[in-house]
Chain A
Amino acid sequence: MKVLVPVKRVIDYNIKPRVKADGSGVETAGVKMSMNPFDEIAVEEAVRLKEKGVVSEIVAVSIGEPKAQDTLRTAMAMGADRSILVETDVVTEPLSVAKVLKALVEKEKPDLIILGKQAIDDDMNATGQMLAGLLGRPQATFASRVEVADGAVTVTREIDGGSQTVKLALPAIITADLRLNEPRYASLPNIMKARKKPMEKITPADLGVDMTPRLSVVSVAEPPERKAGIKLDSAAELVSRLRNEAKVI
C-alpha cells in the first residue's frame, strides 16, 4: 500500500511572525523555517503504518519554492521513501495545491493521502477536504486515530464536544489532528540517509495546473496590541477586581 504525504514549509512555530513594514505580508526572509507541525504528525502516522507493515511506500510532496526541499529531506529523514518537489514561486492556496495534489494522485495512485489538518501560516484548514472533493473520494478530517484493515480505513475524528468515527473505502484522504501521535525527531544517521533518497522536481505546468491565486492580499496588519495591566498583591484584590471592575465573575 502506498501513502502520499503532502508537507509545507512554514515559519517555525516558535518564531513570532513579523508583519512587513509595507503591509504586504509577513516577513519570511532570514526567518527560521520548519515543517508545518500538523504535517509532521501526518508523516509520523505514515511512518508508523509502514512500521506496522500496513504501508510499503511513503511519498512526500511539497509545493513551493526550491527551499521546500529542506522540508522534504526532513520528511525523508523521518521515514518517507522518496519525495516530489513541485516548484513554484506563486503564492500557494488550498485550491491550487489541491489541484496539484489531484494530478499527483492520478499519477502515483496512492491508497491513502495523509495531510496535516491545517498549515500554521495561512491557517486555512482546507487542502485535505478540497483534494477529497476534487477526487470525489471519501475524507476523514481532524483524525486522532487511524486503523487500516481489509481495504478500508477507520478513523476517529475530533469534533466539537467529542469524537466521531467514520469508515472509508480506499483510496481515502485523512487530515491529522494534534492527538493522532507525537512525531519523532529524525536521528542523525537517518538525516544522512535521507540525503541519498530520491527527490523528483517538477512544476505545476508539468501537471497542467494553473496556480493563479483567487484571493489577493489587500493588506496585512498587526492585530491591536494588548496592553500590560496591573500587578495585584492578593487573591482578595483579584477577586474584587474581577467582580467589580472587569465584571467577568
Chain B
Amino acid sequence: MTVLVYLDHEGGAIRQASRSAIAAASQLGDVDVLVTGPDAADAAKSAAAIPGVKKVLQVTDTTGSSELAEPVAALLADLASGYSHILAASSATAKNVLPRTAALLDVQPIPDIVAINDADTFVRPIYAGSALATVKSADAKKIITVRASSFDPVASEGGNAVIEDVALPAGPGGSTFVATELSKSERPELESARVVVSGGNGMLNEENFKLLEPLADRLGAAIGASRAAVDKGFVSNEYQVGQTGKIVAPELYIAMGISGQIQHLAGMKDSKVIVAVNKDPEAPIFQVADYGIVGDLFTILPQLEAELDKAG
C-alpha cells in the first residue's frame, strides 16, 4: 500500500503538523507526498529530506491557482489511482480541499483522526471531543485528515526522496484567487500556540481584557476567550475557544475568570496542563484544572507576572 500525504508548508518549510500526518501515514504503508504553491521547489527539498518519504510530487505555481480548492482537489483526485489513502494534517487548507477530492472520488472522508486501528478503521472525536467514535470505512479509498497533536511528528532530516514535477489541472473554473492577508500579530496562532492565555466573564470589560496581554507576551502565548467574553464584546469572536470556536490543545492553558461552561471545556480540555484562576471555588473549570487558584484575578494577574519575571 502506498499513501499520499498533502503537505502544508510556509515559505518552503514543512509544517510540523504535516510531519505528524506523515507519521500517521507511515502506519498505513509507503509514503509519497505532494507540495504545491509558489515555494513548492523549496518545500519539495525540505520534504525530500524527511525520513520515510519515498517520492515528492511538486506543483510549482505562481498564478494563485494552487491557493484554490478546485484545481488542487482535481489534482488529488487524478493522483488517487496510485494510492490507497490520501492524508493531510487537519489545517484550513486540507479541510477546504480534501472533502472536495472525496466527492470527486465518491468517497466519504474521515476527518480529524486521532488513532489508526487498521487500514479501514480509525478513531475520531465527535461532539467537539465529548465522545470518541471508532469508524470503519467501506470505501475502497480513504480520504483522511489527521489531528496533529495525536501523532508524534517524524524527523525533518535524514531522508533522501526523489522529486517529480506534476502539473495542476485547470479544474472546473469559476473561482479566482484575489489575495491572502496573514495577520501581523507577533503572537502565535491560537490553534498551534504552545501556551494559551484565555479570559472569560471575570475580566469584566474590554479594557480589563487587555490586562492579559503582558502575561501572554511574557509566555509567548496566544490569547483566547470564552464565549461569554466574546458575547459581551470584550474581544472579537476570532478569539473564541470552545465547541463553536477554536479547538486548542496547547501544552499550557491558563483560564482567567472563566467558569468552565461545557461548550468552553470542549474546546480546551485536551490541553496538557490547565491552570484556572477564578474567584468562585465551585466553578466547573476547577474540575479539569491541574492547578487552580481561588481568588481575585486582578490581584493574582500582576503577582503572576512578577513571579515569572523573578524566576527569569
**Given A13-B244, A19-B131, A230-B292: A159 in contact with B93 (beta carbons within 8 A):** yes
Whether the pair B293, A233 counts as a contact (CB closer than 8 A) is yes
**Given A13-B263, A137-B172, A231-B292: A220 in contact with B99 (beta carbons within 8 A):** no
A161 to chain B, nearest CB (A): 5
With a CB–CB cut-off of 8 A, which chain B residues contact A230? 290-292
For A, the interface residue count at a CB cutoff of 8 angstroms equals 82
Q: Is A1 an interface residue (CB 8 A)?
A: no
Give chain B interface residues in 65-105, CB to chain A under 8 Å. Answer: 67-70, 73, 91-93, 95-104
Q: Is A228 an interface residue (CB 8 A)?
A: yes
Q: Which of B95, B106, B111 contacts A95 (CB 8 A)?
A: B106
CB contacts between A and B, total, < 8 Å: 265
* A20 nearest CB neighbor, chain B only: B131
**Given A132-B100, A215-B137, A235-B300: A16 in contact with B262 (beta carbons within 8 A):** yes
B residues whose Cβ falls under 8 Å from a Cβ of A: 8, 67-70, 73, 91-93, 95-104, 106-112, 121, 124-139, 172-183, 189, 191-192, 195, 219, 236-238, 240, 243-245, 251-252, 261-263, 269, 272-275, 281, 286-294, 300, 303-304, 306-308, 311
A residues whose Cβ falls under 8 Å from a Cβ of B: 11, 13-17, 19, 26, 37-38, 93-95, 98, 120-127, 129-134, 136-142, 154, 157-169, 172, 178-179, 213-223, 226, 228-236, 238-243, 246, 248-249
With a CB–CB cut-off of 8 A, which chain A residues contact B244? 13, 37-38, 120, 178
With a CB–CB cut-off of 8 A, which chain B residues contact A162? 180-183
* B8 nearest CB neighbor, chain A only: A160
From A26, A142, A214, A236, residue with most partner B Cβ within 10 Å: A214
Whether the pair B132, A141 counts as a contact (CB closer than 8 A) is no
With a CB–CB cut-off of 8 A, which chain A residues contact B236? 179
B218 to chain A, nearest CB (A): 9
Whether the pair B108, A95 counts as a contact (CB closer than 8 A) is yes
- Interface of B, secondary structure class, is mixed
Whether the pair A239, B178 counts as a contact (CB closer than 8 A) is no
Whether the pair A248, B262 counts as a contact (CB closer than 8 A) is no
Whether the pair B109, A169 counts as a contact (CB closer than 8 A) is no
From A94, A123, A136, A234, residue with most partner B Cβ within 10 Å: A123
Whether the pair A129, B96 counts as a contact (CB closer than 8 A) is yes
A127 to chain B, nearest CB (A): 8
